[in-house]
């Protein structure tokens, strides 16, 4: 019990020392000890000089006053002048701090001689005050100040980079949430409107549509709140949406789907990446009696890449107003293009081709795993709305 209490007490002491920067004392001691060891050429002799000789006083002058100068610069001069861009004022006080520190440390040589009851010449050789100023005190103080500023600036830069990365991450997450919040009401409006129309035209179809819609809503609310979801869930969601979309169309539109049957393993994808392309096709497909009307949807996955193609016929346009097709593609496509840029930068290629009669979209998206193919054959499913 006593050992545990002693351990807790020791831990509290260490935490307290760290909180009040007491660990800096160890850093500066080691720093000056290394300087002495390098100068003398012996780590043992340096330790003897520091602890068991008259030079202890000299060491304390270096240790105390250089540390004081460093922290005065870091915690007073830099915040008060340098960070406020008062450069000339900062340089003046910085130089004055070095000068005062050098003079104090140089006087430490004479204090050391006085404490040792000896002369400066006996301890340090034939030295004058100015010779001492220009030698070790000046170079050592400049080195200490430069080292401390370098460490401080490096720490500030690292913190700034971390803060910037955090801000960028929060910005991306916020933008993705905003884009998703835009997309969901758009989807809900279209689907509810379709079910409303079917209630009057065909109650049985409306009931089936409502069941599919319930599955879609369950997926949206409970299964896709993460940044990435299993690819197989997104594909199942896509299939449900296609079936719901078929019920909305008249019998003049032919829908062909070709989605390879395979096991996708742990492959993940951002939710609602594929569906807006399908929604756009169902929304803008032509339904004129005097032309062929069709939607073609193909999905293939291999070698960590999804290849997704959606094509649909549109109302025949003249060459002058073909570009109006893109303008009327709805916010769904715009959102998904923006999300692709955010979530899959440099990992996708999106091709959009529009003619007078056909609108084509091809998405090649690089993912993170290779699925295990089943032995089931690929069977294209063709449906003509009756």
Q: What is the pLDDT of residue 181?
A: 53
Tell me, yes or no, whether 225 lies in a domain: yes
Q: What is the pLDDT of residue 332?
A: 57
Residues 350, 283: one domain?
Answer: yes
Tell me, yes or no, whether 281 lies in a domain: yes
Radius of gyration of the chain (CA): 38
Query: What gap in Å lies between CA 210 and CA 198, rounded to an integer?
Result: 10
Q: What is the pLDDT of residue 384?
A: 31
Residues 160, 206: one domain?
Answer: no
| Last-in-domain residue among 142, 164, 186 | 164
Instruction: Report the domain count for the chain.
Output: 2
Segment 101-135, tens digit of pLDDT: 989 988 888 888 888 888 877 777 777 788 777 77
Q: What is the pLDDT of residue 294?
A: 92
Query: What gap in Å lies between CA 106 and CA 100, rounded to an integer?
Result: 10
Which of 114 and 297 is assigned the larger pLDDT? 297
Count of alpha carbons within 13 Å of 197, Cβ hemisphere only? Answer: 11
Residues 137, 244: one domain?
Answer: no
Residues 158, 217: one domain?
Answer: no
Give the range among 15-29, 160-174, 191-205, 295-309 with minimum mean pLDDT.
15-29
Tell me, yes or no, whether 357 lies in a domain: yes
Residues 154, 216: one domain?
Answer: no
Tell me, yes or no, whether 241 lies in a domain: yes
Q: Which residue has the tokens 């096991």?
A: 263
| Last-in-domain residue among 108, 142, 164 | 164
Segment 63-107, tens digit of pLDDT: 888 888 888 988 888 888 888 888 899 999 999 999 999 899 888
Residues 237, 159: one domain?
Answer: no
Q: Which of 98-102, 163-167, 170-174 has the highest mean pLDDT?
A: 98-102
Residues 221, 364: one domain?
Answer: yes
Percent of the chain residues topping a pLDDT of 90: 9
Which of 84 and 5 is assigned the larger pLDDT? 84
Residues 208, 156: one domain?
Answer: no
Q: What is the pLDDT of residue 360?
A: 92
pLDDT at 20 > cutoff 60: no
Q: What is the pLDDT of residue 371?
A: 38
Binned at pLDDT 50, 70 and 90, residue 340 comes out as confident
Say which residues have a Cβ less than 8 Å from residue 283's Cβ, sequence separation at least 6.
Answer: 190, 330
CB atoms within 10 A of CB 370: 14
- State the chain's mean pLDDT as an integer: 75
Coil, strand or helix: which one is 52?
coil
Residues 135, 88: one domain?
Answer: yes
Binned at pLDDT 50, 70 and 90, residue 297 comes out as very high
**pTM score, two decimals?**
0.48
Q: Which of 6-15, 20-29, 116-125, 297-306 has the highest mean pLDDT?
A: 297-306
Enclosing domain of residue 290 = 202-384
Residues 96, 241: one domain?
Answer: no
Q: What is the pLDDT of residue 385?
A: 32
H or E segment and range at residue 177: helix 136-201
Tell me, yes or no, whether 367 lies in a domain: yes
Residues 363, 222: one domain?
Answer: yes
Query: What gap in Å lies between CA 237 and CA 197, rounded to an integer?
Result: 22
| Last-in-domain residue among 144, 164, 184 | 164
Residues 208, 124: one domain?
Answer: no
pLDDT at 383 > cutoff 70: no
Assign residue 316 the CATH number of its domain: 3.30.565.10
Tell me, yes or no, whether 44 lies in a domain: yes
Which of 260 and 355 is assigned the larger pLDDT? 355
Give the range among 83-87, 209-213, 255-259 with minimum mean pLDDT.
209-213
Give the pLDDT mean for 14-22. 50
Coil, strand or helix: which one is 59?
helix
């Amino acid at each position: 019990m006593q050992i545990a209490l002693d351990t807790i007490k020791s831990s509290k002491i260490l935490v307290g020392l760290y909180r009040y920067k007491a660990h800096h004392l160890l850093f500066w001691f080691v720093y000056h000890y290394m300087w002495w060891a390098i100068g003398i050429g012996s780590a043992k002799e340096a330790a003897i000089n520091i602890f068991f000789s008259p030079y202890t006083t000299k060491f304390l002058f270096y240790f105390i006053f250089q540390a004081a100068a460093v922290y005065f610069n870091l915690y007073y001069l830099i915040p008060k002048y340098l960070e406020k861009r008062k450069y000339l004022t900062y340089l003046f006080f910085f130089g004055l701090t070095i000068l005062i520190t050098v003079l104090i440390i140089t006087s430490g040589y004479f204090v050391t001689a006085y404490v040792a009851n000896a002369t400066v010449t006996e301890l340090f050789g034939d030295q004058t005050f100015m010779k001492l100023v220009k030698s070790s005190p000046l170079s050592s103080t400049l080195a200490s100040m430069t080292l401390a500023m370098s460490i401080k600036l490096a720490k500030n830069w690292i913190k700034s980079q971390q803060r910037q990365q955090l801000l960028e991450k929060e910005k991306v997450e916020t933008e993705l949430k905003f884009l998703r919040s835009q997309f969901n009401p758009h989807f809900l409006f279209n689907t509810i409107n379709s079910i409303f129309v079917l209630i009057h035209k065909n109650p049985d179809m409306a009931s089936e549509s409502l069941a599919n819609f319930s599955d879609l809503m369950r997926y949206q609310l409970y299964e896709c709140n993460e940044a990435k979801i299993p690819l197989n869930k997104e594909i199942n969601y896509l299939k449900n949406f296609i079936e719901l979309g078929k019920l909305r169309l008249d019998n003049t539109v032919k829908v062909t789907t070709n989605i390879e049957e395979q096991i996708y393993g742990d492959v993940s994808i951002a939710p609602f990446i594929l569906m807006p392309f399908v929604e756009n096709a169902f929304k803008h497909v032509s339904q004129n009696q005097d032309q062929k009307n069709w939607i073609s949807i193909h999905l293939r996955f291999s070698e960590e890449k999804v290849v997704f193609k959606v094509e649909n016929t549109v109302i025949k346009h003249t060459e002058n107003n073909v570009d109006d097709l893109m303008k009327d593609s709805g916010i769904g496509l715009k959102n998904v293009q923006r999300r692709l840029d955010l979530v899959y930068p440099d990992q996708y290629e999106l091709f959009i081709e529009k003619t007078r009669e056909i609108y084509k979209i091809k998405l090649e998206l690089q993912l993170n795993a290779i699925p295990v193919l089943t032995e089931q054959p690929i069977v294209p499913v063709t449906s003509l709305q009756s």
